[in-house]
Amino acid sequence: MDLAGLLSFLFFMTDLTGKRIAVIGAGLAGIAAAHALTSRNAHVTIFEKSRGYGGRCATKRWQGHVVDHGAQYFTLRDERFKHAVQQACGDAIHRLELPIRDEENRILGDTGRWFHRDGNSRLARDLAKGLEVRTETPVEDAPALLQEFDHVICTAPWPQTAKLWGLDEHEIDYIPCLAAVFAYRGDGLGRTQETYAFRSRSTPLAWTACENHKPGRIAAGSTVIVTHLGEAFSREHLERPPAEYPSLVRTWIEDRWELPKTAYDLALGHRWRLARIDSAHPSPCLPPRVHFVGDAFKASRVEDAWLAGHEWAAKNHLMD
Ligand SMILES: Cc1cc2nc3c(=O)[nH]c(=O)nc-3n(C[C@H](O)[C@H](O)[C@H](O)COP(=O)(O)OP(=O)(O)OC[C@H]3O[C@@H](n4cnc5c(N)ncnc54)[C@H](O)[C@@H]3O)c2cc1C
């Protein structure tokens, strides 16, 4: 077979014209998979239960502020992801300039930490341009989708996917994370002028970051701090109402950032029941024509979730 023959054979093998594919979830993995399959001529429909895009790459509009309460920033290490982000978002992507410090106050290495000017969930929205996405459409009867679609690709965290198909939800364990967001009166308070975030592996205050370092996000005259609690603490307090989380950790925040207690304004809590995995997993067994893709294949990071979806859809022939 000559080169032209080989290329047309490969195209025939990977062309998905006429295939109807449902993707459950408009997070980074679902959007990446949908794009890769659409580029092979499949007809792809994404079903998303929430109002917005992005899943755990989430942004909240709160008290005049735009706050990332899920993924805080993303990396652009892989050329394919970088290219897709630059194409989709243009100049809306910015780099975090100030450092992250550890418990000992040492500055952590930085290969580039990026955020979307309008909120990190907008990264997902921009990447989904041109795709058919049905928001506020939770899939409740997943097997019924197989009557309408040739394949169903599930990108909800495994315990949610497993429930949809009556499978063992404990096959992949996800670690929970409690989040608390604090607003203080005044700009540039305490250590927020010289540090973007503190990360700790040995204290419950696993992550605490100042959102003011994402320009245009925080209303004038306020300092906003996002905090993620570590695994042990999150498991211990998981079933408490989220509104109680800030009061559990407020003193630590004020000590860590050297904030004046009198400047405290208000706070909110958020429960991430299925926040992240601790290591990559192989795909569990699923019914024919059903597939599972997501950050569980690689690492719980925005870039890895996108790569998981992109690579899976580029490799998988879905010819049956
Ligand atoms: C608190 C927190 C902090 C993080 N910080 C960072 C960070 O700083 N940097 C970084 O790179 N990564 C971070 N991550 C990890 C990153 O956000 C995730 O790895 C990534 O967003 C996962 O993408 P995904 O597409 O695999 O899954 P998800 O984002 O979970 O997407 C799944 C989608 O499926 C939808 N869905 C679920 N069930 C249904 C249903 N029945 N019907 C329809 N839709 C459904 C969900 O609404 C969701 O939109 C963080 C995560 C959390 C929780």
pLDDT (tens place) for every residue of the chain, 320 residues total = 666 555 555 555 589 999 999 999 999 999 999 999 999 999 999 999 999 999 999 999 999 999 999 999 999 999 999 999 999 999 999 999 999 999 999 999 999 999 999 999 999 999 999 999 999 999 999 999 999 999 999 999 999 999 999 999 999 999 999 999 999 999 999 999 999 999 999 999 999 999 999 999 999 999 999 999 999 999 999 999 999 999 999 999 999 999 999 999 999 999 999 999 999 988 899 999 999 999 998 999 999 999 999 999 988 778 66
Nearest to 68 by CA among 175, 207, 254: 207
The domain that holds 194 is classified in CATH as: 3.90.660.10
Same domain, 235 and 293: no
**Candidate of 302, 303, 311, 312 to mutate for ligand 1, largest count of ligand atoms within 8 Å of Cβ:** 302
Same domain, 21 and 6: yes
Instruction: Residue 224: give the domain boundaries.
Output: 57-77+95-115+175-273
Tokens 């008290």 — which residue?
A: 63
Same domain, 37 and 186: no
Same domain, 30 and 150: yes
Q: Indicate which atom in ligand 1 lies nearest the CA of residue 164.
A: 41
Domain count, the chain: 2
Same domain, 319 and 196: no
What is the distance in A from the centroid of ligand 1 to the CA of 294?
Answer: 9
Q: Is residue 151 part of a domain?
A: yes
DSSP-derived letter for residue 84 is: H
Ligand 1 site, CB within 6 A = 24-30, 47-50, 55-57, 70-74, 138-139, 155-157, 160, 177, 179, 228, 272, 275-276, 294-295, 300-303, 305
Output the pTM of the full model: 0.96
3-state DSSP call for residue 103?
coil
CB 277 within 8 A of CB 174: yes
Distance CA 237, CA 25 (A): 28
Question: What are the φ and ψ backbone dihedral angles of 23, each rounded to 5 degrees?
Answer: -115, 125
Q: Tell me, what's the pLDDT at 310?
A: 97
The domain that holds 12 is classified in CATH as: 3.50.50.60
Q: On the CB side of 62, how many CA atoms lie within 13 Å of its CA?
A: 23
Tokens 């970088």 — which residue?
A: 82
What is the distance in A from the centroid of ligand 1 to the CA of 157?
Answer: 8
Same domain, 147 and 168: yes
Same domain, 204 and 318: no
Q: Indicate which atom in ligand 1 lies nearest the CA of residue 155.
A: 32
Distance CA 239, CA 249 (A): 16
Q: Tell me, what's the pLDDT at 14?
A: 82
Same domain, 108 and 158: no
Q: Is residue 279 part of a domain?
A: no
Q: On the CB side of 306, how many CA atoms lie within 13 Å of its CA?
A: 22
> Strands 151-154 and 20-24: what pairing?
parallel
Same domain, 63 and 38: no
CB 154 within 8 A of CB 24: yes
Q: Is residue 83 part of a domain?
A: no
Written as one string, the DSSP assignment of 180-230 is: EEEEEESSS-GGGGT-SEEE-SSSS--EEEEGGGSTTSS-TTEEEEEEE--
